[in-house]
Chains A and B, each alone.
Chain A
C-alpha cells in the first residue's frame, strides 16, 4: 500500500513538474505559419525549460470564438494563453474568463500602443489583453486596370460601382468580376456592412441609449446599396459564401477589379507564389457614400491569459515576448500585419519593407471599433442574420427586416439595463 502511494506520488509530482514547463497557446491557422513558428522557437530558445504547446483552431473568428469560450466555460486549466478578437475582451472580462493584466501591463507600457486596441482591451477600468496587431478595412484595386481605362481610385461607393462596371464592360473578360468582399453569414459580414452603414452616416446601434439603429434610413439605404448595386451588379453571388481567404484568392488570381480586406492581403497579393497580380495592386482608403466619411472597421488580435491557467506568470512571459517591439516588427515585416505599437510606424526597417504603413497610419488610428459590450455575440448574431437575409434574398423587404433586427437587438440590450454589476 505504502509503495503504491509512493509510486503515485512520484508519478504525480513528475507530471506536475513536467506540466509546469508547458504553456498551452490556443491560436488560429495563420496564413503565414512560418513567422509564428519562428517566433515560438525564438521564445523557447530564450527561455530554456519552457515549451509552447500550440493548439491550432479554425481561421474564422466566429468558429474560433466557440472553441476558446468552450474551454473557458469548462474552466480548462490546460489553456494558458489565447488569441482574442478585438470584440471579445468585454465579454471575456464580464464573464470572468480572462485574467486582468494590470499588474503585468501598467499604464505607462500601454501608452506605447495605439489607443483604439487598448481601449478595446479595457473593460471597467481593467486591462484584459495585449494587442499583437491591428487590422482595418482597406480597399485593394487593380492599378493596371484602372490606369488602362483612365480611372483613379474611387472616393465614393457609387463611383466604385461605376468604375467596376466600366472596366468589366471594356475588359470583356468573362472571368473578371468587379468586387470581392466578405459577405458570408459570419462576423466578417458585420465588419463589411458596418463600413457601408457608418460611411453613410448611420450606425449599428446607439451605444448611449442602448437601442438598435439598423432601421434608421441611413442604415437601410446602405444595406440596399450593397444588395442592389454591389451583389446585384458588380460581384458574382458567390461572395455571399465568402470569408477572407476565398475573397482574397479571387482577387489574387486576377479575377476581381476591387477587393475589400485587412492589411495582410497586401503581402499575399504581392507574393509571386500565391498571386498572379504581383505589382499590379493598389491600396486605398475605403470609399464613403457621397457626403459621408470613409470608415474602416477596427479589427485585430490580442493575447489574453486564462483566469484558470495555473501558471499566469509564465504565460505572461510568453505574452510579453510575443508583443515585444522585436516580435511585432517581425510580424509586420514577414506577415504584413500592422503593428499595435506606435513606434514601429516610424521604424526605418518597417517603413522600408512596408512603405504603405506610413500612409495607412491615419486609417489605423481612426479605425472604428465595434461597440464594446459583454453581449456582443448575441447582438452580432442578430445583425448577421439581418444582413445576410437582406443581401442574399433579392426581393427582401429590407425595412421590415431591419425593424425586426432592431427590435431583437433592443431585447438583448435590455439585459444590460436590467442588472447593474455590484
Chain B
C-alpha cells in the first residue's frame, strides 16, 4: 500500500509542482506585496512594509468602492442572464433535429473568438456614426444616432451585452452536458403517466439539472468578477469611470501607475471575493456535483 502511494505521488508530482508554481505561489506573492508600499516610478522610496494600510486605503478609496459596485452590478446582471440563455440554448440543442451538429458548433463560435477580437467588433457595432446598433434602430435618421460608449449609463450595458453574447454559449455547453446525463427512461415513464412537456421540464429536467446550472452559474460568476478585456478594449474604464471595473482599476494601479502594493491589494480582494462566492455556491451544490446526477 505504501509503495502504491509513493508511486501515486510521483504521478501527481508534475501537476502538483505546476499548481504550486503557477497558482499558489502567485497568490501568496500578491498577498505579500499587498502588505508593502512599492512604487516603481519612485524607486528611492524603497519597499516599505505598511501592514494593512493598503487595505484600509482601499476601504476609504471612493474610486475603488464605486468600482466594486460596478463590478458587482456587472456580475449580478450578466451571470444569471447568461445561465438563462445558456439553458434555453442547451434545451434546443439537446433535441434531435436535422443540422443539430452544425448548430451546436455554430453556437460555440462566440465563445471561441478571442475576447479582444470580439470586444473590438462590439466597439464597432456600438459606434455612434457607422455602428450597426444605430443603423438597426434609426436607419437613415442619423441625427437620432446615440453613442452608447459615450454615455455613462449605456456604456456599462454595452459591455454587459458583449459579455452575454460571448459567454452564454459557454454556459450552454455545461448545461448541455448536464442534460445528456438525464436518462431517457424518466421522460418515457413520465409520458406514459401522461405528464405534459411543461411538467416534464418542471419535475424532471430542472431538478436533475440543478448541479449543472449551479456549476454554470459558479463559472460565470467567477469569470464575470474578473472582467477585464472587454473594458480594456471598449472603454478604458470611461466615460465618467462608469465601466471602471475592479480588475481594470487594479491593472491601472499596477501596470500603468506602477503602484505595485496597492494594485496587489486590489487583486487579493478580487481573489477573496471569488473564493467566497465559490465556497457559497459549493455549499449550495453540496456534494451532489461530485455524484452522478440522476441516482
Which of A89-97, A267-275, A356-364 touches B?
A: A89-97
B43 adjacent to A95 (CB under 8 Å): yes
Q: List 27 A-B contacts (CB under 8 A).
A: A62-B236, A63-B236, A65-B256, A69-B255, A69-B258, A73-B40, A91-B41, A174-B143, A184-B150, A185-B236, A185-B237, A185-B239, A237-B146, A237-B150, A239-B150, A240-B150, A242-B150, A375-B42, A377-B41, A377-B256, A378-B257, A378-B259, A381-B256, A389-B240, A392-B151, A392-B238, A415-B45
Q: Which A residue sits closest to B143, measured CB to CB?
A: A174
A96 to B235, CA, bound (A): 31
C-alpha gap A95/B147 in the complex (Å) = 39
Q: Is the CB of B257 within 8 A of A381?
A: yes
A418 interfacial contact with B, CB 8 Å: yes
Q: How far is the CB of B56 from chain A (nearest CB, A)?
A: 14
Residue pair B44, A66 in contact (C-beta under 8 Å)? no
A174 CA / B145 CA spacing, docked (Å): 11
Beyond contacts A236-B128, A421-B44: 16 other A-B pairs, Cβ-Cβ < 8 A, are A66-B256, A69-B255, A73-B40, A94-B43, A175-B143, A185-B238, A186-B236, A238-B150, A240-B238, A249-B129, A250-B129, A375-B39, A385-B63, A385-B244, A392-B242, A419-B42
Contact with A along B98-119 (1 / 0, CB 8 A): 0000000000000000000000
With a CB–CB cut-off of 8 A, which chain B residues contact A237?
A: 128, 146-147, 150-151
Residue A57, interface by CB 8 Å:
no
B26 within 8 A of A: no
Would A186 and B238 be within 8 Å (CB), given that A238-B128, A404-B62 are in contact? yes
Q: Tell me the smallest distance from the CB of B53 to a CB of chain A, in Å.
A: 13
Evaluate contact between B149 and A241: CB separation under 8 angstroms.
yes
A312: min CB distance to chain B, Å: 20
| Contact call B42/A240, Cβ cutoff below 8 A | no
Pairwise interchain contact B238-A184, C-beta atoms closer than 8 A: yes
Chain A residues within an 8 Å CB radius of B63: 385
CB contacts (< 8 Å) of B255 on chain A: these are 66, 69-70, 73
- Complex Cα distance, B62 from A380, in Å, reads 17
Query: Does B51 lie at the interface of the complex (its beta carbon under 8 Å from any beta carbon of A)?
Result: no
Chain B 126-167: CB-based contact to A (< 8 A → 1; otherwise 0):
001100000000000011011101111000000000000000
A374 with B42: CB separation less than 8 A: yes
Interface residues of B in 29-62 (CB under 8 A from A): 39-46, 62
Question: Is A48 on the interface with B (CB-CB < 8 A)?
Answer: no
Within 8 A of A (CB), among B1-46: 39-46
Residue numbers in B under 8 Å from A375 (CB-CB): 39, 41-42
Identify whether the interface residues of A are mostly helix, strand, loop, or mixed. Answer: helix
Shortest distance between the CB of A227 and any CB in chain B (Å): 11
**Contact A374–B41 (Cβ < 8 Å):** yes
User: Are B238 and A388 closer than 8 Å at their CB atoms?
Assistant: yes
Chain B proximity of A352: nearest CB distance (Å): 36
B252–A381 CB distance below 8 A = yes
What count of chain A residues pass the 8 Å CB interface test?
46
Cβ of B241 within 8 Å of any chain A Cβ, yes or no, is yes
Chain A residue contacts of B235, Cβ below 8 A: 185, 241
Report if A393 contacts B (CB, 8 A): yes
B-side residues, CB < 8 A to A, are: 39-46, 62-63, 128-129, 142-143, 145-147, 149-152, 235-242, 244, 252, 255-259
On whether the beta carbons of A389 and B241 are closer than 8 Å, the reply is: yes
Within 8 A of B (CB), among A245-274: 249-250
Q: Contact: B259 with A388, CB < 8 Å?
A: no
Q: Which residues of chain A in 57-96 are interfacial with respect to chain B, using CB atoms and an 8 Å cutoff?
A: 60, 62-63, 65-66, 69-70, 73, 91, 94-96
Whole-angstrom CA separation of A231 from B152 in the bound complex = 14
Q: Is A240 in contact with B147, judged by CB distance below 8 angstroms? A: yes
Contact flags A376-414 to B (C-beta < 8 A → 1, else 0): 011001001100110011001000000010000000000
A89-113 contact mask (Cβ, 8 Å, vs B): 1 or 0: 0010011100000000000000000
Report, nearest first, the 10 A-B pairs whose CB atoms are least far apart: A185-B238, A238-B128, A238-B147, A240-B150, A241-B150, A392-B239, A174-B143, A389-B240, A392-B240, A241-B149
Complex contact A415–B42 (CB within 8 A)? yes
Q: Which residues of A contact B (CB under 8 A)?
A: 60, 62-63, 65-66, 69-70, 73, 91, 94-96, 174-175, 184-186, 236-242, 249-250, 374-375, 377-378, 381, 384-385, 388-389, 392-393, 396, 404, 415-416, 418-422
Most chain B CB within a 10 A radius of its CB, from A62, A185, A393: A185
- Determine which of A60, A94, A184, A404 lies in contact with B42 in the assembled complex, contact meaning CB atoms within 8 Å: A94
Of chain A, the residue at the smallest CB distance from B244 is A385
Contact A238 B45 (CB under 8 A): no
Assembled-state Cα–Cα distance A239/B236 (Å): 15
**Contact indicator B45/A236 (Cβ below 8 Å):** no
Contact of B41 among A94, A236, A249, A396 (CB under 8 A): A94
Inter-chain CA distance A389–B259, complex, in Å, is 23
Closest Cβ of chain B to A22, distance in Å, is 26
Smallest CB separation, A128 vs chain B (Å): 13
Contacts of B237 in A (CB 8 A): 185
Chain A residues positioned under 8 Å from B128 (CB to CB): 236-238, 241
Chain B residue at minimum C-beta to C-beta distance from A72: B40
CA distance in complex: A305, B263 (Å): 27
Interface centre among A238, A416, A421 (most CB of B within 10 A): A238
B44 closest partner in A (C-beta): A421
**Given A378-B259, A385-B63, A404-B62: A185 touches B44 (CB 8 Å cut-off):** no
Contact of A184 among B39, B45, B236 (CB under 8 A): B236
Least CB distance from A324 to B in Å reads 31
Residue of A nearest to B255 (CB): A66
- B149 contact set on A, CB distance < 8 A: 241
Smallest beta-carbon distance B241→chain A, Å: 5
Q: For the complex, give the distance between the alpha carbons of A249 and B128 in Å.
A: 12
B-side contacts of A249, CB under 8 Å: 129
Q: How far is A381 from B262 in the complex, measured between Cα atoms in Å? A: 15
Question: What's the Cα separation between A73 and B257 when bound, in Å?
Answer: 12
Cβ–Cβ contact B152 & A95, under 8 A: no
Given known contacts A185-B236, A185-B237, A388-B240, A419 and B44 CB-to-CB distance under 8 angstroms: yes
Contact (Cβ within 8 A) A184 B41:
no
Chain A residues with CB below 8 A from B252, complex form: 381
CA distance A175 to B238 in the complex (A): 26
Q: Whole-angstrom distance between the alpha carbons of A378 and B63 in the complex?
A: 13
Chain B min CB distance to A120 (Å): 16
